[in-house]
Structure 1
Amino acid sequence: MVYETSYESGRRPFKPDLARGKWEKPTDYIYACFGLALKLDLFIVSYWFYFDMGLFGMLPYYIYMAIYLVPILVIHSFMGQFSSSGFISAFRVSPFFKGMGYVSLALSLASLLFYGIFAIVPLIFIMHSLRPTLPWSCEGFKPEENVTTICNMTDTQVQTVLSSENESDIFEMTVVHVPSVLYFRQHYETLRSDFYMGERPDYELSWQIAGFSVVIWSIITFIFLKFSETAKFGKLLRYMILSTLALLLVCLVRFMFLPGALDGITHYVKPRMDSMVDGGLSMTIIVLQAFGSGWGSVMALSSFNNFKTNIMSYSWIIAFGQTLVYILFGLVTFMLDHYFETMKSNSFSTYVEVNWVVYLSSASALSTLEVPNLWTIIYYTMLLMASIIVMITQLFTVFTSLFDEFELLRNYKQQVTVGVLCFLASASLFFCTNHGVMYFSALSLDAIMIHSVMHLLLLLAVLWVYGRERFQRDIEFMIGQPFASWKIFILRFIAPLFLLYTLLIGVFISSMEHAFSSSVMLHISLILVLVPMLFIPGYGVFIMCQNTGGFCDRFRRACRPNDWYPTEMEDRQQYEEVVGNADITHQLYEVTEEVN
């Protein structure tokens, strides 16, 4: 296989954007990847199989981290840093698979449509916490008649009759509601009652939530207009992430004094064999959260590193740092969960309905503290910042990839940015409806399932099609350190097995989620998540049609790397010496002269 330029293949040559900038500090890349761990729908969509595992259940995470998380982080970082381009143009390494970049673009945009709800909910509670009396506190909340809450459960006991398929098997259970959950449901007339006990309600748009959505997207637009430069954006991310983690630690310390909080911490750190078993199953999915809402985020973020950045050590730091973020939020969740456990009576027939404990139920717990308004503002400001960090980081990688791939758009960066944000703000209004709020997790799980497929294809493209020897040579040249062959063996043979296992688990969980979701959400998932996967082989066929010769010749030429070399002149010249003139066609020098 020889190295070809786009001139030889008949395609448009890649012209790097030499004005795209670099991180102000090398650690800004690490902070940006830490921000990906603030993707807190992890604590929503995986509630039923994650929250009761605790710290011991996370031990399998470290095994998966060593086997395939860190190695795949290295590959993502390698492609972005070596090519100095986003997740579309980086597939110059093998143009046949370039459709993966466009699929990653679709997944990133799809995730941004529903992720706004995680910023809207904190903003709602922040704004209403400015009232003298919190409307979800026991003093300010007025429940409907015959509704038992944690505020009046000692005064009235409303029995909910549940039955199994056997009509003779009937038992009663007291459902105790949390005022803050009921308060959020009041934004929708159809959610005021227990909708899940009957048929699904008709669609209903909450104009108040839609208004908060406009506010969130306006804030994001302001950020990109004010901090569009890479150095400024990296500095903003750094301070936002440090502030978010600082507020999280403050809330963590304060929650320790809630009734039952210490029991929650004990339950979290207590060694249990069943936690290990459950963790072996669920951690395969949670590990994939390290890449954020979209698939190519790490690839695009690493493209702003200096060429010699040691991505090996950075990948380990990122993996352990993200684990720390998960543990901190896990501790908060367990303390809040056990706070509500203390409100149950000794009878097994009492059930406290805790929904979205980190986002919704937590407001009622905060209302019991001294100076509840202040603590509510602090806590939900932390959640709001975490959500905005995830959204702007995802958008930053999207814009980076678009401007790297399409040279024409570089002259209209501000117009493109505002246009994309307006489109997302309009399309995301669906997730301000009652169905969007209830069933968005199905779309999130579908995206995670597709991530496993994308990782498998990436291993195929880089380690098999591009080749083990070339990958090892390139990464050693880039970081200036040897890259052991046993690491490549793990990536080629061991990691794919775990990714296949992760894919099967993802299919199972996603199918279960859709069983409780609406048919419209299934159609949205097909359009936004599953159908774009067809673009990968479709684009590969398109590339083959542009070449000449028989089928095998077309396929080989479509898989050959095009314009695959460092963008900086000094690094490029050194790379040409390493590769050797025998492996590089003379047109490479023509492209070098034209670009410069």
Structure 2
Amino acid sequence: MAMSTSSEEEKAQLSTFVESDDNEDEERTVWSKKIEGLLSLVGLCVGLGNMWRFPYLCMRNGGGAFLIPFILCLLLCGFPIFFLEVSLAQFTGKDALHTWEACPIFRGIGHGMVIATIILTFYYNANTTWIMYYLGSSFTSPLPWRSCDNDWNTEYCISTRPSNILEQVSNISNVYVSNGISMTENITGRQSSNLTNPETHMKHEYVTSEEEFWQYKVLEMSSGIDVLGHIPWHLAVCFLAGWTLVTLCLVKGVKSMGKVVYVTATLPYILLTVILIRASFLPGAMDGILFFLTPDFEKLKEPQVWVEAALQVFYSLCPAWGQLIIIASYNKFHNNCYRDSILLTILGEGTSIYGGFVVFAVIGYMAHDANLPISTVVKSGPGLCFVVYPEALAKLPLPNVWSVMFFLMLLSVALDSQFACAEMIIAAITNHFRVLRKRQLLVNVCVCMTCFLFGLFFCTQAGIYVYQLLDWYVAVSLPVLGFIECMIFGWIYGAERFSRDVYMMLGRGIPVFVRICWCFVNPIVLLVLFVFTFVSYKPPTYGDYEYPAYVNLVGWFIGLLPLFPVVIIGVLTVLETPGGSILEKFKASFRPSPSWKPVSSKYALDYKVDRTLPLGFWKQMKANVFGNQ
């Protein structure tokens, strides 16, 4: 009985300790309310990839059976790495560029993250541009993509899918994006049908009006990446409007961003629910949902299914990009980030499953209406959002209403991801050049204006080809950056040392399960993902268009670019580290620098890095995994 009372008192003390936020660094920017930080992370983790990639992956890899590797990968990989970055950021209170002083030789991974995010920021707002144009067009009656009597249509345009033939899968490139981010796969085929004229035996390619609107009106596609063409005025205007929205929402940094996410992070759930309810009453909707969930357990024997599950978890939760770090760095020092990490990983990936119900309910209706197999209608990437869904919504009563709701939902999802990207760049600049902190508004405007000017490249007639190229390669290096993170806090700095830092914040250390994942599971999985990227590599294509060989070389350069600063800054750090010989400098560069300390002034004054870990590999491994008992 006495032991029970003592335990309850200890829990009460820890609870009080965790909720206390005294002695925070007065110069540090923090979220006005805890809910603002949570919603910002929700907005980051729930990206376009949850809507246009996961449902397709689930269908292709065994339906409901795919949820088994997906949930296991979420538990073993997604949550531990998510918690690592969130707790690291909360402890240091620094952005991705400046938070790696626990192991100075790897400072360059912060620079690599910033480089990858800059590349992503330049082209990601193209999604917002397309969405805004569709949103504006949704107020036009009839919907402009529904008919074939427009000046952009060709003689092979059809406004209704023929039901007497078997269509092939769309040729539109399928882009894997998570919130930003992103792996890419091209699925061959075209949203068209080859019809044979019995009299002339000539084959003609018939294209739906929705696809012609997307390719010939919205994109005004050129013949290839070498033919830039002009910038369509409607894309330039929407691109400017997108960056204006981002600038206004970040006008006061996280203070204004924290208010905006009340709308942008919650609105998608409301609209998804409304669309799901409406779609559920459509003929064929339940067939689509059953097609989505019907398990094929034989698929679980294929290694690629498990790899794709890990890829989806890794990229949708956004580790190794640095955006998690910048958002979590604004948390209060004693915020319970362990509980938040559990909640956010479940909510973020649960949204993928929920979005699958919405997508397949509508696709089931489309297949029923056209008397086609569901598999011929399913797509991933922009083809789903800008061709298939508009086609389905146009057939509903009050099509303009449903179209507005759908693209408003996509706009909210896309803006959340863009906020995090822009804020990460802005924070890296203001934290590196601290004098600019007093000119936050000017920095925000300059960053957004620069991104707008460089991003106009993606509004050209060749913009979709460049978009596809960057999205195909930009994430190549991320598994390597994530691997280095795990090695630092699993082995070099050590899970036991970092556990004591976490105890300082939360009143509890790092669970053994998470330690095992950091030390063993996560590094192995990330290496497998990196190797799989090369083994399964296929050059990008867009429909029938194949990129020139030199363009693929440029793509590989861009993909590997984030790794360059890891090597360069690592060498420079070794040379600048005090020591009598290169070997001594090298060893010293793995030790925490004086800048490694908690952001809370209460703990920073007396903070000293714990160097009591036992010598010897086996003893150190035991301490990192089970604690220094």
* One of 551, 561, 569 as aligned partner of 2:592: 561
Match for residue 574 of structure 2?
Answer: 544
Shift of 1:141: 5.6
Aligned letter for 1:572?
A
2:415 maps to 1:407 = no
Secondary structure of the equivalent of 1:177?
strand
Secondary structure of the equivalent of 2:101?
helix
Shift of 1:188: 6.8
Report the RMSD for the aligned CA atoms in angstroms.
3.4
* One of 80, 86, 89 as aligned partner of 1:71: 80
Secondary structure of the equivalent of 2:265?
helix
Shift of 1:580: 9.3
Whose RCO is larger (CA < 8 A, sep 6+)? 1
Structure 1 unaligned blocks of 5 or more: 1-15, 163-170, 583-596
Moved more, 353-362 or 104-113: 353-362
For 1:347 and 1:321, the matched residues in 2 are separated by: 32
For 2:225 and 2:435, the matched residues in 1 are separated by: 47
For 1:311 and 1:513, the matched residues in 2 are separated by: 39
1:28–1:152 CA distance, 2 compared to 1 (3 A):
closer
Aligned letter for 1:130?
F
Give CA deviations for 1:463-486 in whole Å, capped at 9, x if unaligned: 222123312221222211132345
**How is 1:150-229 mapped onto 2 (pairs within 5 angstroms)?**
150-151=159-160, 153=162, 160=194, 177-187=207-217, 191=221, 202-207=227-232, 208-225=234-251, 227-228=252-253
Shift of 1:453: 0.6
Match for residue 290 of structure 2?
Answer: 266
Match for residue 589 of structure 1?
Answer: none
Aligned letter for 1:28?
E
For 1:274 and 1:341, the matched residues in 2 are separated by: 26
1:536–1:20 CA distance, 2 compared to 1 (3 A):
same
Give CA deviations for 1:37-82 in whole Å, capped at 9, x if unaligned: 3321465578875543434312212111221211111211121011
Give CA deviations for 1:273-308 in whole Å, capped at 9, x if unaligned: 145446423111101123439711111211111212
Aligned letter for 1:322?
G
Give CA deviations for 1:492-523 in whole Å, capped at 9, x if unaligned: 12221111112223334553436965247535
Secondary structure of the equivalent of 1:186?
helix
Q: Percent identity?
A: 19
**How is 1:459-474 mapped onto 2 (pairs within 5 angstroms)?**
459-474=486-501
2:389 maps to 1:362 = yes
Structure 2 unaligned blocks of 5 or more: 1-23, 168-191, 614-629
Secondary structure of the equivalent of 2:266?
helix
For 2:228 and 2:50, the matched residues in 1 are separated by: 26
2:258 maps to 1:234 = yes
For 1:46 and 1:177, the matched residues in 2 are separated by: 26
* One of 23, 27, 34 as aligned partner of 1:26: 34
Aligned letter for 1:64?
C
Give CA deviations for 1:551-573 in whole Å, capped at 9, x if unaligned: 12111222221221122221324
**How is 1:75-474 mapped onto 2 (pairs within 5 angstroms)?**
75-138=84-147, 144=153, 146-151=155-160, 153=162, 160=194, 177-187=207-217, 191=221, 202-207=227-232, 208-225=234-251, 227-228=252-253, 230-276=254-300, 277=302, 279-292=305-318, 295-344=321-370, 356-438=383-465, 440-474=467-501
Moved more, 312-321 or 171-180: 171-180
2:594 maps to 1:570 = no
For 2:164 and 2:73, the matched residues in 1 are separated by: 50
For 2:322 and 2:551, the matched residues in 1 are separated by: 24
For 2:489 and 2:91, the matched residues in 1 are separated by: 13
8 Å contact from structure 2 (residues 195, 205) kept in 1 = no
* One of 521, 536, 547 as aligned partner of 1:518: 547
Aligned letter for 2:397?
E
Secondary structure of the equivalent of 2:531?
helix
1:135–1:274 CA distance, 2 compared to 1 (3 A):
farther
For 1:339 and 1:540, the matched residues in 2 are separated by: 56
Aligned letter for 1:203?
L
Match for residue 14 of structure 2?
Answer: none
8 Å contact from structure 2 (residues 157, 209) kept in 1 = no
8 Å contact from structure 2 (residues 38, 340) kept in 1 = yes
1:362–1:472 CA distance, 2 compared to 1 (3 A):
same
